[in-house]
Amino acid sequence: MPLLESAVDLLDLHRGLDDEAVAIRDTTRRFVDRELRPHLADWYEAGALPVREIARTLGGLGLLGMHLEGYGCAGATATAYGLACLELEAGDSGLRSLVSVQGSLAMYAIHRYGGEEQKQRWLPAMATGEAIGCFGLTEPDFGSNPAGMRTHARRDGGDWVLAGTKMWITNGSVADVAVVWARTDDGIRGFLVPVGTPGFTAPEITRKLSLRASVTSELILDDVRLPADAMLPDAAGLSAPLSCLNEARFGIVFGAVGAARDCLDTAIAYAREREIFDRKLAAFQATQLKLADMGVELGKAMLLALHLATLKTQGLLQPHQISAGKLNNVREAIRIARESRTVLGANGISLEYPVLRHANNLESVLTYEGTSEVHQLVIGQALTGTAAFR
């Protein structure tokens, strides 16, 4: 039997893919491997990512807001979008985070809930990567329970005045526009805050041990005055930001498979070369049991991702199903990353290999866009009909 090119091919799941999905997958993979992979360890070590430069290249490849229609967006299928996320995260979760936040959080919010002028102003520039967006929902005291947010917007004549603090915001310090969610007399609403607006600052959060190749920031809104048309007209209530999060979580379902694939492929290649007790590490049953279990979980995760893409294409995908995909695939990816690390022994802890970098990144992925516990509760509610969040 010929050797598989990648462990993710164990179940031959690529056979059902259409030409568009395959082309986007292959282009993204080539781009990541040639242009980004050589720099990832350095970016991770430095805790810095050249977001603007990468965004312009990703925009040139049509990967920003790629699942949206019009306004310069590619209008790609759910599967093609998922596979692009997979290939980006096979490089680093920070790359996929950049694309998720730009396309699925910031651009999606404007595309779905914005007025025509807001769309014209921001979406074409965001699709090319000329403009960067961020999405401010989480606050220092309100992550899993965004309904408790303190950031508020009050009317002052025709203007809005925003005050509050957002925390852990991807791309915050490099963004041209922040989508900020705030409490109003009329419930939770979304606002577009262009950088440079007096009172708005976005200090970067440093000393992270995870997602180091990604910019994460605080957003400080100190009585930020915005014109009346800064509000997203069609976003009323918490369901609006939650719908954006569902879009991004869908990308994570695929992305986690990419991180896991990169870890397992690294472990297999390493085990086939490494000599221990005069034999290749790959020739020991104990090693093969590990690799086999990881290969099966990777295949199941990919199958789940493709199934959710089919449901999404048919307009049938439900939030609790996305929760099941995010919970399973990130949880299994982190297990695969840690187990792959053991196969590499001491080399596994080095940035010369990607496995511990992926494992550390996946700690953030397990937490953001809904923690694993919150997704368990979403699934629990779907199964029992009873919400157990509070």
Contact residues toward ligand FAD (CB under 6 A) are 101, 135-138, 143-144, 168-170, 211, 216, 364, 367-369, 371, 373-374, 377, 389
Please report how close the Cβ of residue 43 comes to ligand FAD at its closest, in angstroms. Answer: 15
Give the residue with the Cβ less far from ligand FAD, 293 or 389: 389
Give the residue with the Cβ less far from ligand FAD, 179 or 271: 179
Q: Which two tokens stand for residue 75?
A: 């209008």
- Tell me the C-alpha distance between 245 and 147, whole Å: 14
DSSP 165-199: EEEEEETGGG-SEEEEEEEETTEEEEEEEETT-TT
Give the residue with the Cβ less far from ligand FAD, 183 or 290: 183
Please report how close the Cβ of residue 211 comes to ligand FAD at its closest, in angstroms. Answer: 4
Please report how close the Cβ of residue 150 comes to ligand FAD at its closest, in angstroms. Answer: 13
Residue 5 is a catalytic residue:
no
Give the residue with the Cβ less far from ligand FAD, 77 or 171: 171
DSSP 313-343: HTT---HHHHHHHHHHHHHHHHHHHHHHHHH
Please report how close the Cβ of residue 191 comes to ligand FAD at its closest, in angstroms. Answer: 14
Give the residue with the Cβ less far from ligand FAD, 138 or 321: 138
Strand-pairing partners, residue 177, are 133, 194
Residue 302 phi, psi (nearest 5): -65, -40
Alpha helices in the chain (DSSP H): 19-31, 37-46, 51-60, 78-91, 93-99, 108-113, 116-128, 239-273, 285-313, 319-343, 355-367, 372-384
Q: Are 178 and 193 in contact (CB under 8 A)?
A: yes
Please report how close the Cβ of residue 237 comes to ligand FAD at its closest, in angstroms. Answer: 16
Give the residue with the Cβ less far from ligand FAD, 8 or 99: 99
Give the residue with the Cβ less far from ligand FAD, 143 or 319: 143
Smallest Cα–Cα separation from 325: which of 90, 139, 86?
Answer: 86
- Tell me the C-alpha distance between 61 and 106, whole Å: 19
Give the residue with the Cβ less far from ligand FAD, 168 or 270: 168
Please report how close the Cβ of residue 50 comes to ligand FAD at its closest, in angstroms. Answer: 18
Please report how close the Cβ of residue 286 comes to ligand FAD at its closest, in angstroms. Answer: 33
- CA dist list (Å): 278 to 91, 281, 283, 342: 33, 9, 10, 19
- Tell me the C-alpha distance between 147 and 125, whole Å: 31
- CA atoms within 13 Å, Cβ hemisphere of 87: 23
- Tell me the C-alpha distance between 182 and 370, whole Å: 19
Smallest Cα–Cα separation from 167: which of 208, 110, 124?
Answer: 208
Please report how close the Cβ of residue 325 comes to ligand FAD at its closest, in angstroms. Answer: 17
Q: Which two tokens stand for residue 32?
A: 């990541």
Catalytic residue among 139, 247, 297, 369: 369
Q: Which two tokens stand for residue 139?
A: 């606050």
Give the pairing of strands 69-70 and 187-194: unpaired
Active site (catalytic) residues: 369
